[in-house]
Amino acid sequence: MNQNRGLDREDILHAILGAGLKPLPFSFYSRDTRTVACELLGTYMVRFSPEGTVCGRVVETEAYLGREDPACHSARGPTPRNAVMFGPAGRAYVYFIYGMYYCFNVTTEDEKTPAAVLLRALEPVAGIELMSRRRGTREIKKLCRGPGCLAQALGIDKEINGTSVVDGPVRFYPPLPHDLPGEIAVAPRVGITQAADWPLRYYLKGNPFVSRP
């Protein structure tokens, strides 16, 4: 569960926005993709929309390293689908899978290294009623467990693709002062066939909202 002492879930969002915390800057994302994937753990992902604002604590990510990574979308070169990956860091890369789910990534490094971090799971913090309506379930552990569920709960679709994660509709905020750091576990990525043994999945060990331990 969320390890911020003394704050209820909804109070956390008020603490983030009310305290005037600034979103993580572009320089945060313009670094090694594995570093970004690790350091996104424990941050707060906030989605602003006309329906309302929702927020979750990042508990699981995966790194995709660019053209040398056969599981990365950019490995075969630029296409209309992956064009955002060949741009600057700190942009949302959203794609559609299985004819039914969107997945949300944030681009990293630079134009020469078309890499990204996939957001795999969040611990829901605020806007849980809205997340529940979007997902069709009130079971909190099922709201943002897995990248497709996460995107659905946050109302993410292709309109988000290419937007800034610094001043766009989806932003990431640093942990609050009293957040307790969680132990990070490393494991192979999920749901891929190439480079399936590469240890590029990162998650907060013991967190019940991780998609799979």
In three-state form (DSSP H/G/I as H, E/B as E, the rest C), the secondary structure along 12-60 is HHHHHHHCCCCCCCHHHHCCCHHHHHHHCCCCEEEEEECCEEEEEEEEE
pLDDT value of residue 26: 98
* pLDDT tens by residue, 157-170: 999 999 999 999 99
Calculate the alpha carbon distances from 168 to 45, 91, 124, 165 in Å: 12, 9, 20, 5
Please classify residue 148 by burial: count the beta carbons closer than 10 Å to its beta carbon, then call 0-12 exposed, 13-18 middle and 19+ buried.
middle
pLDDT value of residue 36: 98
Q: How confident is the model at residue 11 (pLDDT cuts 50, 70, 90)?
A: confident
pLDDT value of residue 67: 95
pLDDT value of residue 21: 87
The set of residues, in sequence order, having a beta carbon less than 8 Å from that of 176 and lying 6+ positions away, is 4, 7, 12, 15, 16, 21
The token duo for 6 is 């003394």
DSSP 166-212: TTSSEEEEPPPTTPPPPPEEEE--SS-STTTTS--EEEETT-TTSS-
> Do 120 and 211 meet the contact criterion of CB atoms below 8 Å apart?
yes
pLDDT > 90 fraction of the chain, expressed in percent and rounded: 84
Instruction: Please report the domains of the chain, with CATH numbers, ordered by start residue.
Output: 9-204 (3.10.300.10)
Bridge partners for 204 per DSSP: 184
Q: How remote is the C-alpha of 11 from its chain's centroid?
A: 21
pLDDT value of residue 69: 98
The answer to whether residue 6 scores a pLDDT higher than 50 is: no
Q: How confident is the model at residue 178 (pLDDT cuts 50, 70, 90)?
A: confident
* pLDDT tens by residue, 29-79: 999 999 999 999 999 999 999 999 999 999 999 999 999 999 999 999 999
